[in-house]
Structure formats: structure tokens, C-alpha cells
Amino acid sequence: MSELQKVHFGVQLRPGHGEMREGLLPPLGPDEILLKMEVCNICTEDYQRWMGSRKFESPMADGHEYVGIVVAKGENVIDAYQIGDRVGKLNEHCGACDDCRRGNSSDCQYATGSGIGLQEYNGQKGFADYKIINQRMAIKVSRDIPAVEAAFLEPLATVVHGVKRLRVKPMENVAVIGAGTMGLLNAQVAKLFGARVIVTELVPKKLERARQLGVSAVIDSAACDAVAEVKRLTEGEGVDAVIYSVGNTRAYQQGYEMLKHLNGRLLFFPAGFPEPTFHFDPNEVHYRKMEMIGTINADNADFIDAARMLSSHLIDVSKSLEGKTYPLREFGEALEAAATPNFYRVSLDLQGI
């Protein structure tokens, strides 16, 4: 049996348990690409399963923040993808429905999974040393950046998608609540879109990371009234828009109070577990012409933008990394580390068998 016929992958069976297993790759189809996987970063969703705060169907073999190197390609794969290219993967979508054809691939209701076979396992099977993807799902990322940074393709694309939905414009005042992994990305993308960005946070480690971004202001919510400070920084007006990068009741209320009187916009970037609550006056939303915007996933165009941001060094995702990388064989230990409070992204070396 040759090396390329085997695949090793991470599996979660129950909260607090993760292990590496071995399987067989299916034959490579004419429109498919075989990736020798480099890195998969551990998403919040992954470690929340480990913690037991997010339900999942066992056995779960997931992982979606990854990049790999093309090592084989089917006979119909276009010349845009060559052996040795580094690629990530778009979100699953059919490409044929009305949503896909309108460019709203993140709204596709007919997404069909692609991967490495092993249908008895749930999930995207991105925590694996090899993976097969269809060429229409591939997107190239520069090999001139570290693999752990290139693996931010998917999360960065979701941030780009959200900032577009928020319609951020140059010179607007935008508050980002929370300076965790995704908060730092949201702050950088909003700044790249031309906004004056104010970050609020209360954890010292995260405050320091936020200050390294060069945003307009960083507010220590533990040391002052964050709402009052935002109003002071905006000459009493409040911000044009708020990006929630943490999902909790206190953050929701603070962001609501930070908005300017008319035409303010709230972007709900993350889900919260356990589910938070948010109390507001619908009449106030009506009279103040406020907008509450949800966002999830990313369209194909957002992935293209994210790949360019990464490849052109327009975004510094290194600030969103904890600096800890584990071999795939230590999948459980990596999940445990990722679940450490106030940690940034933890990475898996997918060739670490």
C-alpha cells in the first residue's frame, strides 16, 4: 500500500476526547485535486465540541481552516492549478442553484460535501494529512507566507463577508467589541475598508494584541465605562456601526448603547454558547432607523478577497495565533490547548503522524 492510499485524520467521539485514526483514500476523480495537507487551525466550533458547550453527531471528523499542497490532479483539472500550488477550499456549494448563480454561494441549500470518503464519519475531514477536493472548490494562497497564516483563508473570508454586509465606508467610526481571534481580524478588515476602528476588550493579553494593530483606539472595558469612552472619542455622537466579535448579553447591550442616534448598524458576527439574550426596544429601533445584521460563512468573492489580503500581506493574521502547533497524532491535546481561556488560534501540523 503506497503512502498516498492512506489517510490519517482527527476524530472527536465525545466531549473531552479526540484521537487520530487511519483510513483509505478513494480514487482521484477527473475533476479533483489531491492535497498533501499542511496545517489546520482549530476553530472555536471545534474546541466548543471538546468542551461540551456545542452539540455534535459522533463520530465527528471535522476541521475547515486549512491549506494544503497540490500533489496530484485529475485529467480535467484546469492549468490554473499545478502540482506544488498551495490551496485552501471554498465553502461547499452546488454552483447550480439560484443563490449560487446570483453570487450568494453562502446561501446555497444544496451543498454537497467533498473530501476523503469515509462517509461513516461526520464533518469536513480537514484534520487530515491528505484530502481530496473538487477543482471548483480550490482557491490558491501564496506559499510566501507561513502555512499557519495561510490557513486563515476561511475565517478571514467570513470576516470580509460580514464587513461587506455591514457596508463599512471610509471615515466611518466602527467599534469592534472583543479582541479575540476573530475580533482582531474584524478590526483589521474594517480598517482596511477605511473605517476609524475602536476596539473594546477587558482581558490584558487581548488588549495588548489589539494595540499592536494600529487601530484608532483601544478601550480597556475593565478600567472605564466603555460606552462613555466611545462617546467621548466620537465627540458625543457614537459610532456608525458595531461589530460584535463576542456573543454575550453584556456585549450586546454595550454595542447597542454605543451607536449614534440615527442610522446605526449592529453586526452579529459570532454565535454564543450558551445562548445569550439581548433585550431592546423595537420602537427605538424603528424611530432611530437602526439595523441589526446577521452574518455567517462567506461567498466565493469573499474568499478571493481574503486570499489576496493574505498573499499581499494586507492583513497581519499572526496576531490571531497563539503560537502553539501540535502534530496530528496529538489531536486531543491540541483541542484541550485550544479550549484554554483567552487563547488565540492553536494549529495542527497535519503531517505530524
Q: Would you list the domain boundaries of the chain?
A: 3-145+313-349, 157-294
Contact 254/177 with Cβ under 8 angstroms?
A: yes
What would you measure as the largest C-alpha separation in the chain, in angstroms? 69
Q: Return the pLDDT at 1.
A: 36
CA dist 26 and 7 (Å) reads 10
Strands 32-41 and 65-73: antiparallel
- Give the bridge partners for 294, in sequence order: 268
Pick the CATH number of 3-145+313-349 from 3.40.50.2300, 1.10.3720.10, 3.30.1700.10, 3.90.180.10: 3.90.180.10
E strand map for the chain: 6-14, 17-24, 32-41, 65-73, 86-89, 130-134, 138-140, 173-177, 196-201, 217-220, 241-244, 265-268, 291-294, 321-327, 345-349
Cis ω for the linkage preceding 327 (within 30 of 0): no
Instruction: Please count the residues of the chain.
Output: 353
Domain 157-294 carries which CATH code? Answer: 3.40.50.720
Buried b (16+ CB within 10 A) or exposed e, 149-159: bbbbbbbbbbb
Phi, psi for residue 338 in degrees, rounded to 5: -60, -30
Count of Cβ atoms closer than 10 Å to residue 237 Cβ: 14
Strands 17-24 and 6-14: antiparallel
Which residues touch 226 (CB under 8 Å, ≥6 apart)?
Answer: 200, 219, 254, 258
- Show pLDDT as tens, one digit a residue, over the chain (353 residues): 345 579 999 999 999 999 999 999 889 999 999 999 999 999 999 999 999 999 999 999 999 999 999 999 999 999 999 999 999 999 999 999 999 999 999 999 997 665 567 889 999 999 999 999 999 999 999 999 999 999 999 999 999 999 999 999 999 999 999 999 999 999 999 999 999 999 999 999 999 999 999 999 999 999 999 999 999 999 999 999 999 999 999 999 999 999 999 999 999 999 888 889 999 999 999 999 999 999 999 999 999 999 999 999 999 999 999 999 999 999 999 999 999 999 999 999 999 99
Written as nine digits, the cell of 143 is: 506559499
CA dist 227 and 221 (Å) reads 9
Contact 293/164 with Cβ under 8 angstroms?
A: no
Query: How far is the CA of 273 from the CAs of 29, 47, 108, 164, 243, in angstroms?
Result: 39, 12, 25, 25, 18
CA dist 141 and 111 (Å) reads 23
Written as nine digits, the cell of 32 is: 479533483
Does residue 122 sit in helix, strand or coil? strand
In sign, the C-alpha dihedral spanning 206, 43, 34, 80 is negative
